[in-house]
Structure 1
Amino acid sequence: MRIHLTSVFVDDQAEALRFYTEVLGFVKKHDVPVGEKDRWLTVVSPEQPDGTELLLEPVGHPAAKAYRDALVTDGIPLAQFEVDDVAAEYARLSDRGVRFTQEPLEMGPVTTAVLDDTCGNLIQLVTPSR
């Protein structure tokens, strides 16, 4: 068994695609119309084009919006992405205008930072200690 797909709920799929590809550096994998305005829109790591897909899912369901918004209110990230060097990613993304709610912080076996994805979510970056 493997994780094939996971999702983040987004307010605007076009903005989410821009942020996740142009700012974070993911690449678009699937973009299929679903209904009149929504899309099955996934991105993947350029380092693992056949790896786990991230679905940029519209936050249309009231329960999904309430859940996502409650996490943000409490400062809890919805997803976590591993990077080679949190401090370097923090610097790179800060230079690109990304807002962080937590600067790089060593926490035992990991270093983490938390960013606002501009689409309604907090995302944690993590680098395991070597």
Structure 2
Amino acid sequence: MKHQLNIQVGFVKKHDVPIGAHRWITLVSPPDDQDGTELLLETNEHPAAKEYQEKLFAVGIPVTMFGVTDIHKEYKQLIEKGVQFTLKPTHMGELTIAVFDDTCGNLIQIIQK
């Protein structure tokens, strides 16, 4: 499941370039906007990166956040695709947030203003 998350949340691969033992991979969303914002996937092979990732996850801190126009719709669609949320859509002041597990050791937050 860990390599399927990008499909579940609507990303498609734009670049996949071998770099030694690793790969430089970027994703875009929506699929029909190849010139839009790219998300770069980074390796966590370095011990400091791995420790940082594990500690953020352990205390429930998301590593990134995406803005959405209808958080309840996104939440429902992601739940239907098997995405596991650690925080259901929750109203906080002027914002509504939800947090899900990306299955790769990270928490991702979605937010609606």
For residues 28 and 95 of structure 2, the distance between their equivalents in structure 1, rounded to whole angstroms, comes to 23
Q: Structure 2 length normalisation: TM-score?
A: 0.91
Structure 1 counterpart of 2:73, one-letter code? A
Structure 2 counterpart of 1:43, one-letter code? L
Q: What is aligned with 2:18?
A: 33
User: Which consecutive residues of structure 2, in runs of 5 or more, have no partner in the other structure?
Assistant: none
Equivalent in 35, 42, 53 of residue 26 of structure 2: 42
> Percent of pairs identical after alignment?
53
How far apart are 1:125 and its partner, in Å?
0.4
* Structure having greater relative contact order (Cα 8 Å, sep ≥ 6): 1
For residues 108 and 91 of structure 2, the distance between their equivalents in structure 1, rounded to whole angstroms, comes to 17
Q: What is aligned with 1:67?
A: 52
For residues 52 and 65 of structure 1, the distance between their equivalents in structure 2, rounded to whole angstroms, comes to 26
Q: What is aligned with 1:5?
A: none
Which secondary structure does the structure 2 equivalent of 1:115 belong to? strand
For residues 85 and 109 of structure 1, the distance between their equivalents in structure 2, rounded to whole angstroms, comes to 14
Residue-pair matches, total? 112
Equivalent in 75, 91, 101 of residue 116 of structure 1: 101
For residues 111 and 48 of structure 1, the distance between their equivalents in structure 2, rounded to whole angstroms, comes to 26
How far apart are 1:55 and its partner, in Å?
1.2
Q: What is aligned with 1:83?
A: 68
User: Which consecutive residues of structure 1, in runs of 5 or more, have no partner in the other structure?
Assistant: 1-13
Q: What is aligned with 1:127?
A: 112
For residues 50 and 36 of structure 2, the distance between their equivalents in structure 1, rounded to whole angstroms, comes to 27
Q: Structure 1 length normalisation: TM-score?
A: 0.80
For residues 107 and 45 of structure 1, the distance between their equivalents in structure 2, rounded to whole angstroms, comes to 26
Q: What is aligned with 1:104?
A: 89
Regions of 4+ moved over 4 Å: none
Deviates more, 1:47-56 or 1:65-74: 47-56
